Structure formats: structure tokens, C-alpha cells
Amino acid sequence: MRTEKEKMIGGEMYEASDLELSIARKHAQQELRAFHQAQDPEQGKAILKNLFGTTGNKYHINSGLIVDYGFNIHIGENFYANFNCTLLDSCPIKIGENCMLAPNVQLYTATHPLDPVKRNTSIEYGKPITFGDNVWVGGGAIIIPGVTLGDNVIVGAGSVVTKSFPDNVVLGGNPAKIIKVLNL
């Protein structure tokens, strides 16, 4: 029998009020408080290295970070997140190397049933988010569950990305669409 945590990570319907998951969310919030209060940048970095699933050696995340669990977040080398980023990680968030998130970027893997009766319970599910290398997401952009962005993708500020896109494109709008192809 699969645990609720295993179902959650696998993108299946799961019981969000499960005790193991509740404890994991509480732990993540405690670690985030310690991160935000850390006086030494290296101390803050060590807290996130322990909270996240995997990290590169070089990364920087400004204050205001929000996560659900942390353990489903995987960031590559030279990752940068500016102020007030939200990474809701009920499913894995995998970010390649040399990626940047501008202020107020939101990555949502969590979603809910369309049926209102099911939605009014604590049953939910998620879909992973994956970024290739050299992805730059502009300020206030939102990436919804299940999106994959290829290498060298740029997401314009304020965009809402509702589907996956290939390498070497610039996206913009709501819903986001290709506004430029990069000849790299």
C-alpha cells in the first residue's frame, strides 16, 4: 500500500491532511523561518541545502521564499531566486543549471479536483514542473502544474504559463505564447 506522501510525489490523488504530510509542511515552515532569520548567508544556504531535495554548490535565494515541503525541489548549479518566490512542491520541481527567477515568481505543482464535492475535501493532486538549463522567468510570472520549459527559455514578466514549451523561445502573455524564437 502506497503512503499519501508516495501518492503525492507520484502525481496521484492524495489526502493532504495526512499526518506525515502535515508534519513535513510544519518542518518546512520551521526551516524557512530559520532561513529568513539567518544572519550569515552561508548559514541560510546550508538550511536550504538540507531542506531541498538536491542543490548545486552555487546558488542564491533571497528572502521571502515560500515552499510546501522543500524535499521535492531540485535546483541546478548557479540558480538564483529573487525576493518573494513561491515554490509549491507537492510534486517535484526540477530546475536546470544557470536558471533565474525574478521577484514574485510562482511555481505551482499543486492542483485540486474540478468536481466541487471532491474539491471540498482534503483530497488533491499535483503535476511536476521541469525547467531545462538557462531558463529565466520574469517578475510576477506564474507557472502552473505540469509545465516543462526547455533550455534557454525566457518567460516575460507577468506571464501565466499554462503549457509546456521547447528550447530557445521567449514567452509572454496570459496564457503565455511564443513571442520570439531565439536563434542560438
Please list the active-site residues: 112
Q: What is the DSSP string of 86-141?
A: EEE-SS-EEE-SS-EE-TT-EEE-EE--SSHHHHTTTEEEE--EEE-SS-EE-TT-
Q: Are 160 and 174 in contact (CB under 8 A)?
A: yes
Q: What SS3 state is found at 14?
A: strand
C-alpha cell at 172: 509572454
